[in-house]
């Protein structure tokens, strides 16, 4: 079985290209990509409503 070889570090340009087409958000730190968690649209709406009424 062969595994795909991944680059050891991504450049800023490579990261931005990947990020534009990725189905999820990630961040790049020292050339390594890390998946980011994100809130749903409903979660953001609830948070905004709570903040606006307080």
Tens-place pLDDT, residues 5-53 = 665 799 999 999 999 998 888 999 999 999 888 778 898 899 999 999 8
SS3 33: strand
In terms of residue numbers, what domain contains 47? 12-53
- State how far the Cα of 33 lies from the Cα of 1, in Å rounded to an integer: 25
Please report whether residue 5 resides in a domain. no
- State how far the Cα of 24 lies from the Cα of 15, in Å rounded to an integer: 13
Residue 1 has pLDDT above 60, yes or no: no
Please report whether residue 34 resides in a domain. yes
Do the Cβ atoms of 47 and 53 come closer than 8 Å?
A: no
Give me the number of domains the chain comprises: 1
């Amino acid at each position: 079985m062969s595994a795909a070889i991944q680059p050891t570090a991504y450049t800023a340009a490579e990261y931005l290209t990947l990020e534009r087409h990725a189905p999820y958000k990630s961040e790049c730190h020292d050339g390594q990509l890390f998946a980011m968690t994100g809130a749903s649209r409903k979660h953001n709406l609830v948070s905004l409503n709570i903040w606006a009424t307080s």
